[in-house]
Amino acid sequence: MADQRNMPQHPAILHLHIHLLEMSDEPERAIDSADRLRGLCPDAGHIHHMPGHIYVLCGKAFQANGLPGTFCNSLEEAVSKAFSAVIEKTDILFSPGFASFDCFKNYTDRGNYFVKCVLDLKKISSMSTHNTSLDFVH
């Protein structure tokens, strides 16, 4: 299989392995294939972009370019992890990697829920000793 380490694989096998696992419950099983395929076929547009499928699903899209990123299973988890990671006042980029299939009615509903998560966390944080304040413009 494409995820067995130190075995040369044809780009087509790596490509199909990524497609096979990208919508599974374990897309992280294709990270090795994505890492191997990355840069292997720079002139083949579709093949060249394939590692991005897995990197986005596993929160590695930014790390692949030297930027920090975290995979979360829910909006609440993303807001909580972002808040926990902050040591001093800073800006945090919230960028969902893909659509929230069947979780929200539409993008407005998702946006409103995000605002609720931030405001709920702001209420909780005002009662705790966490030394970071949430400045949020709604």
Q: Per-residue confidence at 16, pLDDT binned at 50, 70, 90? A: very high
pLDDT digits (tens, 9 = 90+) for 49-58: 888 888 878 7
Mean pLDDT over the full length of the chain: 77
pLDDT digits (tens, 9 = 90+) for 58-83: 777 666 666 666 667 788 888 888 88
How high is the pLDDT of residue 12? 92
In terms of pTM, does the model score above 0.75? no
110: which residues sit within 8 A by CB, 6+ positions away? 75, 96, 100, 103, 104
Handedness of CA 92, 98, 99, 104 (dihedral sign): negative
DSSP secondary structure letter of residue 87: S
Instruction: State the number of CA atoms in the 13 A half-sphere of 55 facing the CB.
Output: 20
